[in-house]
Structure 1
């Protein structure tokens, strides 16, 4: 339990209590935004499910028994983890039906006793893969615990969701998140990124350790300036930055920039409506100055258009033209 984030401990205890009462859900879906610790919780639940230590001796997995040691090494014969694999094609974005079939075969050949299947992210299953899994969930082998981890439970087939108990993991309270970040290496640099990460501490910490604090300063200097750059020059500079080796090595790219951009536009609309900024609270002054340059209706319309363009972010036909389109719309609104 020492390794588990404090906001996840009540859910862990809930699972342990259900185990003790022999009422543990056979299929559990852990949903919530990215960066709140869903996969860490799934790992802890899998360890408790397979641990040889009796529950009466304590609710935590012991970490010392043969089962715990095997699981830690990723070599437990009664534990399966399904995730997208690049080697299986589809650019590593989907869990394939071949993986589900291999799981079915493994479960049928495995000895009786407790077994655990973790699927992450569960929304990486397409309709055919999900239907294949559904057949297993409809007649699950005894002793098997299914743990499905997803950012978006609604993206899964309703028939799959109906076979699971769904636990939603929301971002923790801000004070709890900040207190936890203080105990982590790089946590001080992560604190300014917490709001931008939607209150998700693990996302903020990952960004900070990758050096994204520098990218945030650049983003605010460009988007929040009193006089936004000419869109064509801005797009050219932004393209060079996103393609730079240092930027790419940090894991920051168009998808991350567009996520920040949508949050920026959302905050502009909020401030224009009289509400407080949600993601860029440290830039409240810049947001107030810009929000007054257009009507609330104009900001909401701009945000809608940007979200429609974001659908193409993984495969823009031309990066420069994509950025010019996005930034020209923004500059026109600010100048209007």
Structure 2
């Protein structure tokens, strides 16, 4: 296995993720025959954005040709003028939609003192990860695509790259505007589309780009990578190798097989509170703790986003158990709790609907305390 990237290493020059190596080698070997449009699709957490930004750096690198045909096609050099422009976010031959998706140096975030309670939970969310976080989704409108046309139609002695992240968020008008560019490719222009939801792309768009198989993942390489990453970076401590292996398999199940999502999960604050969540909920259910007291407790320990995520995962397994299926969180032995076995699927779904409503309310800047209080009241009535 190749050496892993240091946690603060630029995503442009980080080592390729092990399960992507064969795809990388195949793509690079087709340098002279690269199609005009490429699609990188698959669920969140498989590392497709890490792959794309590494590929962007290689395409634009001044020393790219030196590695072609060698056994060490490991990407951009990291020190030429092009690579320096990438690092500074000012490369003249790169355009990104939306602009918020452009990678930013991970150490550029302001250092903040860690405070107790909810602030500490939020600060801990900034801990370094294997790759940059998934960018927030914004709609891509027709005017955004039209603004790219001068860049795409310009002549260039080298290559020009345009990355459209969350391509499924293009409006119909925007997608139709992009079609002309895809139908009449200009020499040296590469359009790289990224999406978590390829089924939402217009068939006409998909028919004019070639999909890169970044969603093909070898489980053995994934498990080895996660194990090495967790132990090397001390993401979380486990008593022995067997316990770590069990937790990795469980996290992969909960993350639908997405390796980077599993790593995030194992190192998250909320994952460590799963057993506590059950105990607090049981106390709520029998009246040993009030929903107000429980709300105060969680506000001190988790951000509202983390608490919602934790609650969703717990209720998901409650739903599975209600349907006669085995819970995915086998380490919690949920089947042994009589109170969980007594729950009806309808009552669980009502709380899940409440969570969705709380999420919508969060976009309207509703105070976190109100969100905690509503959710705890709903859990108490479950």
TM > 0.5 fold call: yes
In the other structure, the counterpart of 1:179 is: 224
In the other structure, the counterpart of 1:218 is: 273
SS of the equivalent of 1:57 reads coil
Query: Residues 226, 260 of structure 1: CA spacing in aligned structure 2 closer, same or farther, 3 A cutoff?
Result: closer
How many Å apart are 1:40 and its aligned residue?
0.8
Query: Residues 159, 133 of structure 1: CA spacing in aligned structure 2 closer, same or farther, 3 A cutoff?
Result: same
1:248-287 to 2 correspondence within 5 Å? 252-254=303-305, 256-278=306-328, 280-285=329-334
1:178-197 to 2 correspondence within 5 Å? 178-184=223-229, 185-188=233-236, 192=247, 194-195=251-252, 196-197=254-255
User: Which moved further from structure 2: 44-53 or 309-318?
Assistant: 309-318
SS of the equivalent of 1:8 reads helix
In the other structure, the counterpart of 1:202 is: 260
Q: 1:46 aligned to 2:46?
A: no
- 2:23–2:213 Cα contact (<8 Å) kept: no
Q: Which residue among 56, 62, 75 is the counterpart of 1:61?
A: 75
1:273-312 to 2 correspondence within 5 Å? 273-278=323-328, 280-285=329-334, 289-295=338-344, 297-298=345-346, 301-302=349-350, 305=353, 308-309=356-357, 312=360
1:22-37 to 2 correspondence within 5 Å? 22=33, 24-37=34-47
How many Å apart are 1:72 and its aligned residue?
4.7
Structure 2's unaligned 5+ residue stretches are: 4-14, 102-135, 239-243
User: Which moved further from structure 2: 116-125 or 300-309?
Assistant: 300-309
- 1:269–1:299 Cα contact (<8 Å) kept: no
How many Å apart are 1:5 and its aligned residue?
0.8
Distance 2:359 2:234 in 1: 32
Query: Residues 174, 228 of structure 1: CA spacing in aligned structure 2 closer, same or farther, 3 A cutoff?
Result: farther
How many Å apart are 1:128 and its aligned residue?
4.0
Distance 1:180 1:187 in 2: 13
Q: Which residue among 282, 291, 312 is the counterpart of 1:234?
A: 291
How many Å apart are 1:225 and its aligned residue?
4.8
SS of the equivalent of 2:161 reads strand
Q: CA RMSD in A?
A: 3.9
Q: Which residue among 147, 161, 167 is the counterpart of 2:206?
A: 161
In the other structure, the counterpart of 2:124 is: none
Query: Residues 102, 227 of structure 1: CA spacing in aligned structure 2 closer, same or farther, 3 A cutoff?
Result: same
Query: Residues 61, 171 of structure 1: CA spacing in aligned structure 2 closer, same or farther, 3 A cutoff?
Result: closer
- 1:81–1:118 Cα contact (<8 Å) kept: yes
Distance 1:157 1:224 in 2: 47
Structure 1's unaligned 5+ residue stretches are: none
SS of the equivalent of 2:38 reads strand
Q: 1:315 aligned to 2:363?
A: yes
Distance 2:46 2:148 in 1: 28
Distance 1:274 1:124 in 2: 37
How many Å apart are 1:122 and its aligned residue?
2.5
Larger RCO: Structure 1 or Structure 2 (Cα < 8 Å, ≥ 6 residues apart)? 2
SS of the equivalent of 2:21 reads helix
Report Cα offsets for 1:239-270 as digits up to 9, x if no partner.
7745x6x85xxxx443x433332232222222
Equivalenced residues, count:
315
Report Cα offsets for 1:179-204 as digits up to 9, x if no partner.
21343323445965834444433234
